[in-house]
Amino acid sequence: MKKSTPNLMSMLHQLIAIPSMSSVNPSFDTSNRAVIDLLACWYEALGFTVKVMPLPRQPHKANLIATIGPAQEHGKNQGIMLAGHTDTVPCEEKFWRFHPFRLTEQENRLYGLGTTDMKSFFALIIEAFKRFDASRFKQPLVVLATADEESSMEGAAMLIQETSLPVRSAVIGEPTGLKPVNAHKGMIMNGIRLIGRGGHSSNPALGLNAMEFMHQVLGELICWRDDLQRRYQDNRFAVPVPTLNLGHIQGGDNPNRICDQCEVHFDIRLLPGMDVQSLHDELHTRLKTLLAGTEIDWEFFPLKQGTPPMLTAKDSRIVKSCELYSHAAAHAVAFCTEGPYLTKLGIDTVILGPGNIAQAHQPDEYLELSSIQPCVDILAKLIAEHCL
C-alpha cells in the first residue's frame, strides 16, 4: 500500500525535468505547480497528509505542507520540519554544457537546474523517511515545500497565518556543504526617486535639478551607512557590519537640459537584531529632514519584499542535533533564506543541505554524488531523534 514512490534517481530525474523558475521578470517566470503536484503525489503515497496552498497573489503557484505522525495536542510538538523551496532561478541555456532540465550524471556529479538549489532535497527526505515505520512516530514529521523563494518570497511570507505547523524545529536544505548554519543577514532593496523640473541648461532658474538633489541624497545614504556600521557589529559574519550598496542610478537625458528626474537603487544587508520596518522608518525620517523646505518631490519605495535576518540560538536543540550529526559547528553565512519566516512562527531553524552555494545560480549547477548518502544519513538521524 505505501512507500510506493519511484527510486531516488528516478525522483531526481523527474524533479529536474519540470521547469519551476521564478523571477521578478515575468518573461522568465514559470509556475511551480507541477513540482508541487508531483511531491503531493509521492508524499501522499507514503502516507502523509498533504495540503496544497495556492499563493494569494499568484494562485497558479503553491506551497505544499505534508505531515505524518501524531496530530498536535497542546501547542507545538517536538517533531521536526524539513523544508525547502521548489522554485529555481531562471537559466540561460546557452551557457550550459548540459541540458538544465535533464539530469545528467557525469564526473561523479548530477548536473541540472535545481540539483543543489534545491529540488533534490525533497527526494532525499523521502529516501531518509523510507527507513522508518511511521506508525511508530510519537511526534510529527512535516515537509514544507514553498514557492517563489528566488523572487518574491511570497510562499514563505504567506505562512504567517499558517497554524498547521505543529513543530518547534526545522531544517531547511539549502546548499551548505552539509554544515549547519544558524545565522544569516537579511536584505532589503529600496529605491529613491527625485522629481524636479526640466528646462534649458543656460539658466538654472528655469528648472529644478533632480541630479543635484540626488548628490545630497547619496551623501546622506553614505553618512547613514557609516552610522549603522558604528551602531551594529556582529563578528559571526565575514563582513561584520551591515552594508549598504549603491547599485543603480538613472537620471536626466541630455547635457544641455536641466535634469528633471533621478532615481537610485540600493540594497542593505542587515545583521540579526536589525528590524526592516525600523530601518525604513529611520531612513524616511532622514530624507524628510534633508529635503525639508526644498521644492523637490521625492519618493522612497521598496523594490521587492525584504528578507529579515535570521539567528537561531547556538544552544537550541536543533542546532545541537545538526552539529552532532554533521560533525561541524554552526556558523553564519551571507546569503538569505526562508529561515526567518519560520523563526517568526516560533520554529527554531537551521539551514543544512547538500551541495555548495557556489554552485547555485550558476550554469552547470550540480550536486556531488558523494554528498547524497551523508545527507540522507543526517536526515534519518534527525527524524529518529525528533519523531520516534
Q: Which residues are catalytic?
A: 87, 149
Closest approach of Cβ 116 to Zn ion, in Å? 9
Q: Minimal distance in Å, beta carbon 345 to Zn ion?
A: 19
SS3 263: strand
Q: Which is nearer to Zn ion, 149 or 348 (CB)?
A: 149
Contacts (Cβ under 8 Å, ≥6 apart) of 324: none
* C-alpha cell at position 196: 524636479
Q: Which residues contact 198 (CB under 8 A, 6 or more apart)?
A: 207, 257, 258, 259, 260
Which one, of 53, 118, 57, 64, lies nearest residue 87 by Cα? 118
Interface positions with Zn ion (CB under 5 A): 117-118, 174
**Beta carbon of residue 312, minimum distance to Zn ion (angstroms, whole number):** 18
Which cell goes with 58? 499568484
Instruction: Closer to Zn ion by CB, 85 or 168: give it.
Output: 85
Nearest by Cα to 287 from 271, 309, 264, 307: 264
Q: How many whole angstroms separate alpha carbon 352 and alpha carbon 80?
A: 14
CB of 307 to Zn ion, least distance (A): 12
Closest contact distance (angstroms) between CB of 207 and Zn ion is 47
Q: Specify whether the CB–CB gap between 51 and 36 falls below 8 A.
A: no
Q: Which residue is nearest to Zn ion (CB)?
A: 117
Which of these, 134, 167, 146, lies nearest to 345 by C-alpha position?
A: 167
Vertex 325: Cα angle to 349 and 386 (nearest 5): 55
